[in-house]
Amino acid sequence: MADGVGIVETKRAVVFEGDRPLVLASGATLPEVEVAYETYGELNADRSNAVFICHALSGDAHAAGLHEGDDPNRPGWWDNIVGPGRPLDTDRFFVICANVLGGCRGTTGPSSIDPATGKPYGLRFPLVQVRDLVEVHRALLAKLGVERLLAAVGGSLGGMQALQWAIDHPTEIDGAAIIAASARLSAQNIAFSAVAREAIMRDPDFAGGDYYDKERRPDAGLALARMIGHITYLSEESMREKFGRRIQDAEVPRFGFDVDFQVESYLHYQGQSFVERFDANTYLYMGRVMDYFDPFEDRAQVQRQISRGDTHFLVLSFDSDWRFSTEHARVMASELRGAGAPVTFQEISSPHGHDSFLFADPPEYHLTVARFLDRLARQRGIG
Amino acid sequence: MRPDLDVVADLVGSGHRVLDLGCGDGALLENLIEQRGCTGLGVERELDDFHACIARGVPVTQGDLEEELPRFEAGDFDVAVLSLTLQAVSRPDRVLTEMKRVASRLVVSLPNFAHWRLRATLALRGRMPVTDALPYQWYDTPNIHLCTIRDFEALVGELGLRIQRRVLIDATGRRVEGLARWAPNLLAERAVYSLGT
């Protein structure tokens, strides 16, 4: 990835503290919020070229490039779209990615120390909403001297943030690219979310969320939740192509209850590697952030908000995504249009299921994002 | 902008919510949005044209217009536009009916298959005509439902649509005056209609 953004580092900023606590949409407050973030490219003189990447459930601030000493083959999670000449072109744009509120990758979340008790919050961390995630992003931008965004871009939960951002602050954002997302989870989505949550909370090591000072954490539950999630991220076709019914490390089945098929081994690997970098409580909170997300609940209000600004929307879906199918995207596009917003919509044919937003193929996907950002940039006179 | 799109834009008018079916590179919608205070949405199947719309800042849905039309709600738009595309859809009657459902006014342009030059080619040479207005061979043409001005006006009547205005144009898109007005089915290469519901 020598042609990407190169070596980067995750920085931290305290964005709420002291006499300026974070007041959440629910009315609850957090006395202190620290944010982990990365930036790529340079902010231009008139500060008009900022593009914010909103990450998905399991993402973090490290969207692109390599940390010192990293395996060059394992750059940030969205490296293929960020860098010189890539759709989020760091020769033109100042790209920012921050770990979300409630996260576990450097930004204040349930694993952070509650200043009131000196212990990790655990489940005493307040329930947060997509709206709160956006407010923390905005507070970070204020620290960075960015008053308006050229665009917010995100897939899945990231797309939800871009959407909420554009609805809540229509005059601060020229464009929102909402990819493989939903404005309202279906009963099936919520059902999967519920099973993942149960897997964590029923783990005997969960300890009501206060496992941080214990010897054992709810790793089994979290790994199981991730395995369930991962099934919904892939398509039947991509699983068939990747694994088929092949047997792991053998020619013939072993006939037993241990891992035998390749797909089982893959899911186990996904589950195990996830627990090494992710916090079970954050998984619970982010699941709920998505379950309760319903930005079009008050249509009249959305209409008033949209009419205050001139945000252009790009809504993308992937035909093999059955977690947030094209139907979700169509509903979102239709709601936005109904509120008077200019919306461009494309369903892209891709075999990778929900995870398609992380892939660079098929080429029309990145091409569409690039065209959308380029148009916004030219409107702002960004060369 | 192509001259025939100028005629279409005139018939659409100003300040409307416009749906442009088969919007191509978005030139018409860009003009309607930028010059005439309209809001708009295009539907375009071809990827290059879809991307051209994005580059112009024209909101667009990529897809087949016959599949996309039923997804819109009744009355979503003031004007639905179908420019030189009716002859390429699989069911022109259904497309017009759907357009009538989603918009209160239709602007439709079409090539006239009864133009004398086409008639002459067919009558004298016995070959399917290839002209500036219809430049394809019979085997590679996207135009699968060609009709005449008379055919179209008959269908319009059957569907309960009212012809509000009709502008006759030549293959380059310029308005034709004089004789063509007296025998449009014989002398006009194309026609653009504003249809009321």
The DSSP output letter for B11 is H
Q: Answer whether A8's CB lies under 8 Å from A36's CB.
A: no
- E strand or H helix at B7: helix B3-12
Q: Would you call A375 and B71 a contact, using CB atoms and an 8 Å cutoff?
A: no
Tokens of A345: 């919509």
Rounded-to-integer distance, Cα A79 and Cα A73, Å: 11
Beta-sheet pairing, B77-83 with B17-21: parallel
Class of domain A189-288: mainly alpha
Q: Which residue of A has its CA nearest to B49?
A: A368
| pLDDT of A270 over the 50 cut | yes
Q: Which residue of A has its CA nearest to B39?
A: A342
Amino acid at B147: C
Crossing angle (nearest 10°) for helices A219-233 and A187-201: 160
Instruction: Name the residue range of residue B55's domain.
Output: 3-111+146-178+190-196
Q: Is residue B164 part of a domain?
A: yes
Q: Answer whether B8's CB lies under 8 Å from B14's CB.
A: no
What pLDDT is stored for residue B52 in this prediction?
98
Give the tens place of pLDDT for each residue, B91-117.
999 999 999 999 999 999 999 999 999
pLDDT confidence bin for B2, thresholds 50/70/90: confident
User: Average pLDDT of A124-153?
Assistant: 98
What pLDDT is stored for residue A2 in this prediction?
52
What are the CA-CA distances from residue A157 to residues A52, A127, A262, A274 (Å)? 14, 16, 29, 18
Q: Whose structure tokens read 């300026």?
A: A20
Q: Is residue B162 part of a domain?
A: yes
Q: Would you call A342 and B39 a contact, using CB atoms and an 8 Å cutoff?
A: yes
Amino acid at A255: F
Q: Is residue B133 part of a domain?
A: no
Rounded-to-integer distance, Cα A135 and Cα A33, Å: 11
Distance of CA A227 to the CA centre of its chain: 18
Q: Is residue B13 part of a domain?
A: yes
3-state helix, strand, coil in chain B (%, to 5): 40, 25, 35
- CB-CB neighbors (< 8 A) of B71 in chain A: 330, 334
Q: Answer whether A263's CB lies under 8 Å from A230's CB.
A: no
CA distance B41 to chain A (A): 8
Provide the annotated active-site residues of A.
156, 321, 354
Distance of CA B156 to the CA centre of its chain: 14
Using a 10 angstrom Cβ sphere, with 0-12 exposed, 13-18 middle and 19 or more buried, the burial of residue A255 is exposed
Tokens of B94: 């259904």
Q: Is residue B136 part of a domain?
A: no
Considering only CB atoms, B54 lies closest to which of A334, A344, A379, namely A344
What are the CA-CA distances from residue A147 to residues A48, A152, A307 (Å)? 8, 13, 20
The answer to whether B75 faces chain A, any CB pair under 8 Å, is no
How many of the other CB atoms lie within 10 Å of CB of A360?
12
Q: Would you call A330 and B71 a contact, using CB atoms and an 8 Å cutoff?
A: yes
The answer to whether B62 faces chain A, any CB pair under 8 Å, is yes
Give the tens place of pLDDT for each residue, A22-62.
999 999 999 999 999 999 999 999 999 999 999 999 999 99
Q: Would you call B47 and A364 a contact, using CB atoms and an 8 Å cutoff?
A: yes
What are the CA-CA distances from residue B161 to residues A30, B105, B131, B165, B181 (Å)? 62, 9, 30, 12, 21
Interface confidence: ipTM more than 0.90: yes
The DSSP output letter for A126 is P
Q: Whose structure tokens read 């416009």?
A: B18
CA distance A358 to chain B (A): 21
How many of the other CB atoms lie within 10 Å of CB of A34?
17
CA distance B104 to chain A (A): 17
Q: Would you call B57 and A346 a contact, using CB atoms and an 8 Å cutoff?
A: no
- CB-CB neighbors (< 8 A) of B50 in chain A: 346, 368
Rounded-to-integer distance, Cα B112 and Cα A172, Å: 50
- CB-CB neighbors (< 8 A) of B57 in chain A: 312, 342, 375, 379
Q: Answer whether B1's CB lies under 8 Å from B34's CB.
A: no
Q: Answer whether B193's CB lies under 8 Å from B107's CB.
A: yes
Q: Would you call A371 and B55 a contact, using CB atoms and an 8 Å cutoff?
A: yes
CA distance A134 to chain B (A): 25
Tokens of A104: 């576990």
| pLDDT of A1 over the 50 cut | no
Q: Answer whether A238's CB lies under 8 Å from A319's CB.
A: no
pLDDT confidence bin for A101, thresholds 50/70/90: very high
Return phi, psi of residue A350, to 5°.
-150, 145
Q: Whose structure tokens read 């973090």?
A: A60
Q: Would you call A375 and B56 a contact, using CB atoms and an 8 Å cutoff?
A: yes
> pTM, whole model, 2 decimals?
0.96
Domain holding B100: CATH number? 3.40.50.150
Domain ranges of chain A: 11-184+293-379, 189-288
CATH fold label, A11-184+293-379: Rossmann fold (3.40.50)
Which B residues, 156 through 195, put their C-beta within 8 Å of a C-beta on chain A? none
